[in-house]
Each structure stands twice: as structure tokens, then as C-alpha cells.
């Protein structure tokens, strides 16, 4: 019996699948307030138009230096708005703060749109992302949304706005 248990334990690592969730965070390293806007994907599905922490995570905020520590806080209503008809989220992000915007399961980095079409299981949770400041506007659409994010580790990508 003991031999069977050791045999099962020896092969257990090979039986478990590799899976992870990658978080995408926008960090405001500038000296002024920025506005982060994104459009939630899923129209025509049962998914709600706004993040609900079930189908799609609600955005959370923390200080930039705490991003890796998972000390995320709910956004106050004064700086967070979502229109369920247009599926657009708008966040006012103060200097020195970072906002968790969305997550993707099994993300391993940006690939070309042609290569992305080969991955039938992969779906972008947002359709567009923009960051607006006094200096101008950054805009990403479709599969380009993740292109501006820098990999920190397999579970964290950050877009630093300076």
C-alpha cells in the first residue's frame, strides 16, 4: 500500500495542468491625474455590461509600490464609472497609483494577430483601452490592447504611464 501512495505522489506533478491568471495593471507615474477608459467585451452574451467580479473583475487600486503585494482596494464611486449600455469603464487615476484593469487566463505575451487566430481558446476580455492626460491620449484597440504592457512576471503585466 505504501508503495502505491509513493507512486501516486511521484506522478502527481505530471498529472496537474499548467494554468495561471495574468493581471493587467495601469500605473500612473506622471505628476498629474490620468483617465483610464476601457470597453468590456461580451456584447451578445449573458455577461453584464459592467464588471461584476463574476464574469469580469471590478477594477481595483493600490499604490504603485504595492502592486506585487496584492493589496488592492475597491475604487470609490467618485473615481469609477461604468455605463452598462456602452460597456465602457472610466477610472480617474491619481499620480503614484496603479489600477488593476483586467485579467487573462494562460496569457504568455503578445503575439501577432495572425498567430493569435490559431489560439481558439484565447479571448480578449476588453475591446479597447485608452489613457488620457493633459499631455495627450494613448489608445489601443482589439488585440493591440496588451501590446503596451510590460511583463513583470507570468502573472503580472504593467503599462507605466509617465
Q: What is the pTM of this model?
A: 0.82
Instruction: Determine how many CB atoms are found less than 10 A away from the CB of residue 94.
Output: 13
Q: Report yes or no on 7 lying in a domain.
A: no
Question: Quick check: 133 and 34 in contact, CB under 8 A?
Answer: yes
- How far, in Å, are 2, 12, 13, 15, 150 from residue 6 at the CA level? 6, 10, 12, 14, 42
Sign of CA dihedral 143, 145, 146, 148: positive
Residue 90 lies in a domain: yes
121: left (phi over 0), alpha (psi -120 to 50) or beta: alpha
Phi, psi of 36 (to 5 degrees): -100, 125
Cell numbers that stand for 105 in this block: 487566463
5 assigned to some structural domain: no
Instruction: Please report whether residue 58 resides in a domain.
Output: yes
Find the domain containing 45 and state its range. Answer: 17-161
In a domain, 97, yes or no: yes
Block means of pLDDT (10 residues each) for the chain, 162 residues, are 46 53 94 96 80 86 90 91 93 97 82 63 76 94 87 93 93
Handedness of CA 110, 19, 120, 131 (dihedral sign): negative
Report the domain count for the chain: 1
Cβ-based neighbours of 57, under 8 Å, separated by 6 or more: 51, 100, 102, 103
Q: Which helix (H) or strand (E) covers residue 11, if one does?
A: helix 2-15
Predicted pLDDT of residue 4: 47
Q: Domain for residue 63, yes or no?
A: yes
In a domain, 76, yes or no: yes
pLDDT at 71: 84
Residue carrying the nine cell digits 494562460 = 106
| 8 domain residue, yes or no | no
Amino acid at each position: 500500500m505504501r508503495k502505491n501512495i509513493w507512486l501516486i505522489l511521484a506522478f502527481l506533478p505530471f498529472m496537474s495542468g499548467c494554468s495561471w491568471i495574468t493581471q493587467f495593471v495601469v500605473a500612473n507615474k506622471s505628476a498629474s491625474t490620468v483617465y483610464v477608459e476601457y470597453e468590456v467585451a461580451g456584447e451578445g452574451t449573458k455577461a453584464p455590461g459592467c464588471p461584476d467580479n463574476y464574469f469580469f473583475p471590478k477594477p481595483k487600486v493600490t499604490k504603485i509600490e504595492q502592486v506585487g503585494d496584492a493589496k488592492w482596494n475597491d475604487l470609490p464611486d467618485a473615481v469609477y464609472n461604468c455605463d452598462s449600455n456602452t460597456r465602457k469603464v472610466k477610472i480617474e487615476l491619481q499620480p503614484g497609483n496603479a489600477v488593476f484593469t483586467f485579467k487573462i487566463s494562460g496569457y504568455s505575451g503578445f503575439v501577432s494577430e495572425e498567430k493569435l487566430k490559431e489560439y481558439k481558446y484565447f479571448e480578449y476580455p476588453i475591446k479597447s483601452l485608452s489613457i488620457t492626460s493633459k499631455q495627450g491620449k494613448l489608445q489601443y484597440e482589439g488585440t493591440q490592447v496588451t501590446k503596451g504592457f510590460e511583463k513583470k512576471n507570468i502573472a503580472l503585466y504593467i503599462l507605466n504611464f509617465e
